[in-house]
């Protein structure tokens, strides 16, 4: 079975500081991995996804994530936080070899950005 | 309208009421999903429809009844709900849930319906 663990339910950074949101996964097969963002009163929006091509994935709004198989991690980073980045972020995993494989979401990390 | 829309955005209902949530996607997708988002819990997949056929029911109680009259519309009928059913209900769509991409096709989410059951 697949699972996702997001370390830290709440992360606070200062504007201009590095953003690091942690995601570790468990999967018996090479997974597909996703980061979604949810702004207040909105649905989820895809930030980026890893589908077994390049291990460093660039997404929208300056975010990127690196797939590290040895660490079973897919951490999300952004060099310089902006106030508009304040939102909840979800990591998700899927089994690409199983057409019944669902997206399994982590519990989410709420990012606060201080001025 | 573009993307995925959901109505109503907020709903308060008693335990004996019957209500319906509506989702519409304007993306030309073939698969639609219902998710439940409760506070402090991961998103829970409830139902999946692909080309109007239900392909997934994730052990959802029968008080939730989905309907998919066409590939652009998805409804969730609610009947005799419990207070613990209060949550944000999210609809999503993707190109296909059973194609070569499976569930890995990018899912596009609506803004959700905030449901409160009294």
In this predicted model, what pLDDT tens digit does every residue of B36-47 receive, in sequence order? Answer: 999 878 899 999
Question: Cβ–Cβ of B107/A45 closer than 8 Å?
Answer: no
Cβ(B22)–Cβ(B73) under 8 Å? yes
Measure in Å the smallest separation between the Cα of A69 and chain B Cα atoms: 19
Closest to B34 (Cα-Cα) out of B93, B86, B87: B93
Pairing of strands B87-94, B31-37: antiparallel
Residue B46 to chain A, least CA–CA distance (Å): 11
pLDDT for residue B114: 95
For residue A108, the distance in angstroms to the closest alpha carbon of chain B comes to 7
Nearest to B109 among A43, A51, A106 (CB): A43
| Contact between A99 and B102 using a beta-carbon 8 Å cutoff | yes
pLDDT in tens, B46-87: 999 988 999 888 899 999 999 999 999 999 999 999 999 999
């Amino acid at each position: 079975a697949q699972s996702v663990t997001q370390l830290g339910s709440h992360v606070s950074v200062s504007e201009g500081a590095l953003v690091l949101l942690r995601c570790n996964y468990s999967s018996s097969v090479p997974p597909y991995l996703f980061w979604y963002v949810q702004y207040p009163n909105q649905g989820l929006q895809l930030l980026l996804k890893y589908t077994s091509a390049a291990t460093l994935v660039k997404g929208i709004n300056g975010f990127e994530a690196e797939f590290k198989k040895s660490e079973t991690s897919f951490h999300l980073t952004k060099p310089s936080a902006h106030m508009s980045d304040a939102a909840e972020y979800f990591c998700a995993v899927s089994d690409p070899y199983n057409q019944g494989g669902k997206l399994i979401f982590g519990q989410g990390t709420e990012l606060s950005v201080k001025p | 309208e573009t993307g995925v829309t959901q109505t109503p955005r907020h709903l308060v209902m008693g335990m004996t009421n019957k209500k319906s949530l509506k989702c519409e996607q304007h993306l030309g997708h073939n698969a639609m999903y219902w998710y439940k988002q409760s506070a402090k819990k991961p998103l829970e997949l409830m139902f999946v429809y692909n080309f109007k056929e239900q392909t997934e029911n994730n052990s959802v109680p029968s008080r939730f009844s989905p309907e998919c009259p066409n590939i652009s519309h998805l409804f969730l009928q609610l009947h005799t709900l419990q207070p613990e059913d209060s949550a944000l209900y999210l609809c999503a769509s993707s190109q296909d849930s059973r194609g070569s991409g499976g569930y890995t096709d990018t899912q596009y989410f609506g803004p959700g319906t905030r449901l409160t059951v009294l």
